[in-house]
Amino acid sequence: MTLQNQPDPLPAAASHRADAGFSAVSSSSTTQSLRNAVQYLCSLQHQQGYWAGELEADSSLESDAIMLDHYLGDPQPDRVRKLAVSIRDQQMPDGGWALHPGGPPNISLIVKAYLALRLAGFPESDPALKKAQKLALELGGVEAANSYTRIYLCLYGLYDWRHVPAVVPEIILIPNLAYFNLYELSAWTRSIVVPLSVIYSFHPNKTPPHGVNLKGLYTRPDGKPPAPLSELELNWRSFFHTADRVLADLERRQWMPLRRQALKKAEQWILERLEGSDGLGAIYPAMMNSILALDCLGYRHDHPIFRRELELFWNLALEDDRSMWMQPCYSPVWDTAQSLYTVAVSSMAPDNSALCRAAEWLISKQILKSGDWSARNPKGVAGGWAFEFNNDPFPDVDDTAMVLLALSSVRLPDEARQRDSLRRGLEWVLSMQCNDGGWASFDVNINKSVLCHVPFADHNAMIDPSTSDITGRVLETLAALGFNQQFGPARRAIDFIFSQQESDGCWHGRWGVNYIYGTCFALRGLAAIGIDMREGACVLGSEWIRSCQNSDGGWGESCDSYENPEYRGRGPSTAAQTAWALLGLFATDDFESESVRFGIQYLLKSQNSNGGWTDGPFTGTGFPGVFYLKYHYYSVYFPMLALSEYLHRRSPGSNAQRPDFADILQPS
């Protein structure tokens, strides 16, 4: 795993590339580089046909794992010790922990890490903990941690339940037609909040072992966080803050007449979404919360459901002889779709059977039953794909579009089955288009920004609005299946993407870091669907990409760009972000500029001897400003795709990339 480092200075833009050692790129060297990369990626394919790279996140996952292990009453000493080693390894020289390598210290991570290490047996006098304590107080102490961190502290009696946001299960009883209801929240928030509301209603309070306390991390005697707003300030945030205090007061008075009904429905909601999934949402925070909720509801630890959920949680752990770290989830569908597409369009696959195995595996993972998305889209017919191995209730548009793009790049012996899978997937994607013309992740029209002011909204993911990167990918998929810009949904999507362009020419990236990612896939979608890339907006986008190139020829962007404009399009070069920048330029039919050749040269020089590339910085986004990811295969298949398109001079709008699936919406 990657250790946290001190922030690096921002690299300078490449202003005089010819003076920096620029030379022409050899076609033969590019061909050999691509061939080596294809061989390496194919060697990573599982026998069943899929790819699944490691997914890395921050230290909060290991901290939560230690807390859960102790909370359930039977912590495994060796596991706790290894998790603690991982936490210590990620501590920065200043005593803190960051959301991503090179990022600033984060108070929530520091509080969690401090508690986890204390639970693991580290004394308060440990030098690492003393440094962490000092930094925590400088950053505002426990009171400054986010709401979910403070709620977890309540489980051990280390924080007062009265001072955390009221997450009441009665929310599940609010009709879907109401302005504020469960299905106005994003899918990932629903999967986190429903079990959390069960936990909140029981107010569990277990005594921590070893006399552990956090007294040295508080800045206020009462531990109460300062009020976020003046009582006289009238806006949505103060409204929700007032409503939260009213709910908390009713909770203290135990006047919740619908509590039993709400808990029963919340339990049913959780159990229904455990079916066909590898844990609730098949992702870390929801899985952990569901385990805690089942414990609160009285499920014995040897109950088959409880035992299964706990086993699935610990299956996310990776370890070596010295340490253990947690993955937030698995990414096999995403990695397989990206890898299949990249290998297929390279025209260098060792044999067609590997591609067919990947395509068949993807088709086997298509979800053909209704899921949580149907509450917002009742007329939609199931046919999407999820990100993980099994997560039937929560397919998403981005994965589905990428799978369709991958499946359209190969020919299977059973073409009728392939066409049927493509048709059902496409119909589901089209049914998920939002009113603004774009596509979001898991739902339709989850975009009420006022809900971002709810007190427990500090995970920065309450809503699921349309994004340029997903919409661009859908346009690229539509083009691959034979549609053009005259197709109604495509016209609306084009308008949406142009409406989202920033004044300097770039696009925001929701699911990749950040503006380089968003600009790449916005341009690729526009090019693929047939937009004239000489239009001013497209030229402006390509010029923005060029303006961000580093002096080493590569591109990079820090996760901090989500919160700090200084990092917009800037950061140490990475293979993945260099590939995104090049792919964006290719979309504008630029294969010959100095920027492109210098970028290709960067990829050739930074390639490992095994054929892959290695990136240190995180380039994936979970929740902007809150949670970031490192996809270990991003630095393999994205550079491969860039080299492939450069070598073949084939932009996403090229007819050479479009198999004949133009009649896909017709019966096969």
Reported as a pLDDT band with limits 50, 70 and 90, residue 176 is: confident
The DSSP secondary-structure symbol of 624 reads T
Give the β-pairing of 55-56 and 620-623.
unpaired
Look at the domain 12-43+507-659 and name its fold: Glycosyltransferase (1.50.10)
Q: What pLDDT is stored for residue 9 in this prediction? A: 45
Helix (H, G, I), strand (E, B) or coil at 92: coil
Average pLDDT in the 535-539 region?
Answer: 95
Reported as a pLDDT band with limits 50, 70 and 90, residue 239 is: very low
Helix (H, G, I), strand (E, B) or coil at 658: coil
For residue range 369-403, list pLDDT tens digits in order.
999 999 999 999 999 999 999 999 999 999 999 99
Residues taking part in catalysis:
398
Q: What pLDDT is stored for residue 663 in this prediction? A: 62
Reported as a pLDDT band with limits 50, 70 and 90, residue 3 is: very low
Q: Is the pLDDT of residue 186 over 60?
A: yes
Hey, where are the domains in the chain?
A: 12-43+507-659, 58-224+241-326
- Residue 665: name the closest of 437, 491, 424, 439 by CA: 424
Q: Name the residue with tokens 């260098």.
A: 348
Q: Is the pLDDT of residue 18 over 50?
A: no
Look at the domain 58-224+241-326 and name its fold: Glycosyltransferase (1.50.10)
Interatomic CA distance for residues 556 and 8, integer angstroms: 12
Interatomic CA distance for residues 297 and 650, integer angstroms: 57
Tell me if 12-43+507-659 shares its fold with 58-224+241-326: yes
Q: What pLDDT is stored for residue 461 in this prediction? A: 83
Q: What is the 3-state secondary structure (H, E, C) of 318-358?
A: EECCCCEEECCCCCHHHHHHHHHHHHHHHCCCCCHHHHHHH
Tell me the pTM: 0.92
